[in-house]
Amino acid sequence: MPHNRDSMETVHLTIELLHRIPRDSKITAPELQRQLAAAGYERDLRSIQRHLKQITEHFDVECDDRGKPYGYRWKEKAKGLSLPGMNQHESLLLTLAEQHLRHLLPPRLVASMDAYFHQARSNLQHSGKAQLEKEWLKKVRVVSVSQPLLPPAVDAGMFRQISHALYNNLWLTIVYRNAAGKETDARVMPLGLAQQGVHLYLVCRFEGYDNERSLALHRFISAEAGTMTFKRPKEFDLSKYDDDGRFGFGDGQRIQLSFCIAKQAGYHLLEAKLSADQVVEQLEDHYRITATVVDSAVLDRWLMGFGGDVWGVVKLPSRPMNSAVPIGGSAVD
């Protein structure tokens, strides 16, 4: 019986290795060891090297031994190893997930899924039955609502450390440089990861404080996950943090906003409201909009982006919308 169990484990390990060997690039035994560990297969390097040697003898996998560590890949025109349970719809779903969720998934999970992502792309590329699914990738797109920007560089090693600490509730030791150039050495409690346009932000609490801060990942100088865990604050809710406008550089204060906007510039607000309680007064050549929103720097930039098409901006403390719309208050320049 133990012999049968060892044989099955050998089969499973071989299949996992074959799934992770690429076609268009090479992978080393240490890289495969890390991917297997992420998937729950803890094996020493010598064991993996022995399996790879056997794989090159029985499968269309070649070993580049011109330098160490050796690199492995499927031979040109090799059929490879397919995942029989993955149909065309699942291949499309995985391909879209890889494109849009890669930065929001733990790197170890992405690494362990690389073979599945590759198989999904291969299924769509080479299967004659997946023509409609392949075309679908050219029919959908996430469009930027502002001027498109290239994402700032984020060090891959630091991103792994940050994600590892976030995933495992570990304290994170960081050196961070803010937008003003000030550097801070600190230990933080990572609580959430958010993507806003091309930027990634870590929501965290600094040691000794009970409020949250958002730190841009591209401004990290260093980040190292510790071994000490923390108890995640029960009162923290990432969705509420977002709803409170914290990613818009606000403090969560809700206000009653009213402003005038030219009809051509403001028509879209009749279709996509600022809030559920939005009230629109139609005048001769413009609308007066009143809505309860979170006050933030992003709101101010949005209003100023309309230029002369927006005027008469008033911000007052939030109050029930069935009361009269007040006149006066502080205008936004």
CATH number at residue 268: 3.30.70
- Which pLDDT score, from 0 to 100, does residue 318 have? 76
| Same domain (yes/no): 66, 110 | no
Mean pLDDT score of the chain, rounded to an integer? 83
The string of DSSP letters for 255-295 reads EEEEEEEEHHHHTHHHHS-SSTT-EEEE-SSEEEEEEEEE-
Write down which residue in 74, 101, 124 finishes a domain.
74
| Same domain (yes/no): 132, 168 | no
Please tell me the total number of residues recorded for the chain in this structure: 333
Look at residue 160 and tell me if it is in a domain.
yes
* Lowest-pLDDT range of 90-94, 241-245, 250-254, 297-301: 250-254
pTM of the predicted model as reported, rounded to 2 decimal places: 0.62
For the chain, what is the domain count? Answer: 4
Section 314-322 average pLDDT:
70
| Same domain (yes/no): 228, 265 | no
Write down which residue in 217, 243, 269 finishes a domain.
243
Please give the Cα distance from 20 to 38 (Å, whole number).
Answer: 12
Which helix H or strand E contains 316, and what residues bound it?
strand 310-317
| Same domain (yes/no): 238, 265 | no
Write down which residue in 196, 220, 243 finishes a domain.
243
Look at residue 330 and tell me if it is in a domain.
no
| Same domain (yes/no): 123, 163 | no
Look at residue 284 and tell me if it is in a domain.
yes
| Same domain (yes/no): 210, 265 | no
Look at residue 260 and tell me if it is in a domain.
yes
Under the banding of pLDDT at 50, 70 and 90, the label for residue 331 is very low
Residue 33: CA count within 13 A, CB half-sphere: 12
| Same domain (yes/no): 66, 30 | yes
* Lowest-pLDDT range of 18-22, 238-242, 298-302, 329-333: 329-333
Other Cβ atoms closer than 10 A to 172: 23
| Same domain (yes/no): 103, 68 | no
Please give the Cα distance from 162 to 7 (Å, whole number).
Answer: 38
Look at residue 26 and tell me if it is in a domain.
yes
Please give the Cα distance from 16 to 35 (Å, whole number).
Answer: 10
Look at residue 326 and tell me if it is in a domain.
no
Under the banding of pLDDT at 50, 70 and 90, the label for residue 330 is very low
Look at residue 333 and tell me if it is in a domain.
no
Look at residue 285 and tell me if it is in a domain.
yes
* Lowest-pLDDT range of 81-90, 216-225, 228-237: 81-90
CATH number at residue 21: 1.10.10.10
| Same domain (yes/no): 218, 258 | no
Domain span at residue 39 reads 2-74
The string of DSSP letters for 69-137 reads S-EEEEPTT------TT--HHHHHHHHHHHHHHGGGS-HHHHHHHHHHHHHHHHHHHH-GGGHHHHHHT
